Amino acid sequence: MAAISLAIMGAGFLATMPFQDSLIGKLLMGGFEAGLVGGLADWFAVTALFRHPMGIPIPHTALLPKNRDKVTRALINMLENDWLTKESIMDKFKQIHILDKIFETVEKELRSESVKQSIQSFSLDVVKKIDVERFAPTIEQEIKGFLLSADTSDLLQKASSHVLSKEYEAAAFNYVLIETEKWASQDEAKMVLGKLGKQAIDTTEADGLLKFAIQSFSNMITEEKVGNILQSFILKRMKNLQQEDNRYRHMILEKIRKELGNINEREALMSEIQNWKNKMVEDMDLTGQIRGVLAKSKDRVIAFIEADSFVDDTVTPVVKRFIHEIKEDESKVAAIESWLHAKIAGLIERNHSKIGKLVRENLDKLDTETLIDMMENNIGKDLQWIRVNGAVCGFLIGIGLTIFKLVVL
């Protein structure tokens, strides 16, 4: 349009020259003449910004290429000190509820498939990189350290108190009686008892009449009879001791309860148990078992993460609950917001000068021809309207001046 307007003014000027004796011809010629001058002047001005008009190195033309560094400095100064000052950036950030924006973004992104896949992939990578071989010895040392530091007397005292409170001693005593009764009722037990009893009688040492009586009794009785007597005796005693009102039963249980209640006072026994426990713990080799447990646990965790519902059922609820808990606590929200603003203010303070450096670096990457081409493509169209306006305004002003000359002269 700028070229067309200039061409119209030039053609109009030439076309009206033969008719300048008439009033209309004179008016039109004056308008086209002024429009041609205005269009040419504005063409020269616009072109001089970017290059030499018609390639002629006229002074004070190609202004932008010649003053590139000055323009760059002016642009940087304007950005840093007028448009993007530290104060204006900080004031803008103070108006933003950063935490709300963060939570809103997190909740939104958690619903996207790409983020779910990223969380799942990251979790799998972390778990797969865990080396169970390295952790097993450390865990074994921790377990052994805990067992070695455990107070045996305290554990035994608690165990005995629990046994007494639950009356396990009576149950254990009944179990021993029942099992003894079962064993004693067998024929094999009768034979063993008879043999032991006969040997005891035959090996008993005595003098005089007692010796004679024992020998006579031994000759009269057999192993089978001794077994029957001892079996009957033991079975009867087992039956009696199982009766709740049996006084011997009460005596035995009272003795057991007393020993259990005062077990921590038996220093020699406690010391022996402690030494036995420490030796047993030190001789334990748990590395293999721990490795196996860790490997199985790792496989289970990997399978758990690989499930399609891992993020929706595990990660998302935890994140949402965390966000909800923070939102419910206004003091915590205020503290986090204050911390975020302080951090951002510090970043702005330390890095504000990098705005200008970034602009300069990006501009310096471009050669002058490319930079001029970019500027013409972005602002050149608007500048061409200056030429159109110059031609039109010149035409109108020319008509006005011609009328003025006719009136005055």
What is the widest separation between alpha-carbon atoms in the chain?
185
CA atoms of 225 and 227, how far apart (whole Å): 5
Task: Give the model's pLDDT for residue 123.
Answer: 92
Phi-psi region of 206 (alpha: psi -120 to 50; beta: other; left: phi over 0): beta
Average the pLDDT over each of 130-144, 197-211, 381-395 and give the range with the smallest value: 197-211
291 Cα distance to chain centroid? 26
Is 71 strand, coil or helix?
Answer: helix
What is the Cβ-side half-sphere exposure of residue 20, based on CA atoms within 13 angstroms? 13
Task: Give the model's pLDDT for residue 218.
Answer: 65
Q: What is the mean pLDDT of residues 375-384?
A: 69
pLDDT at 362 over 80: no
CA atoms of 187 and 196, how far apart (whole Å): 14
Cα angle 231-237-242, degrees, rounded to a multiple of 5:
130
Across the chain, mean pLDDT equals 81
pLDDT at 208 over 70: no
Cα angle 230-235-239, degrees, rounded to a multiple of 5:
150
pLDDT band at 150 (very low <50, low <70, confident <90, very high): confident
CA atoms of 111 and 319, how far apart (whole Å): 12
pLDDT band at 404 (very low <50, low <70, confident <90, very high): confident
Task: Give the model's pLDDT for residue 265.
Answer: 73
Asked if residues 6 and 394 have their Cβ atoms less than 8 Å apart, the reply is no
26-47 pLDDT per residue, tens:
888 888 888 878 877 877 777 6
Q: What is the percent of the chain with per-residue pLDDT over 90, rounded to a whole number?
A: 5
pLDDT band at 210 (very low <50, low <70, confident <90, very high): low
Residue carrying the six token digits 């001791």:
241
Q: What DSSP string describes 301-359?
A: HHHHHHSTTHIIIIIHHHHHHHHHHHHH-HHHHHHHHHHHHHHHHHHHHHHTHHHHHHH
Beta-carbon contacts of residue 374 (< 8 Å; ≥ 6 apart): 366
Task: Give the model's pLDDT for residue 122.
Answer: 92
303-348 pLDDT per residue, tens:
999 998 888 888 889 988 988 888 888 888 888 888 888 888 888 7
Cα angle 221-223-227, degrees, rounded to a multiple of 5:
105
289-311 pLDDT per residue, tens:
888 888 999 899 999 999 988 88
Q: How many residues are listed for the chain in this entry?
A: 409
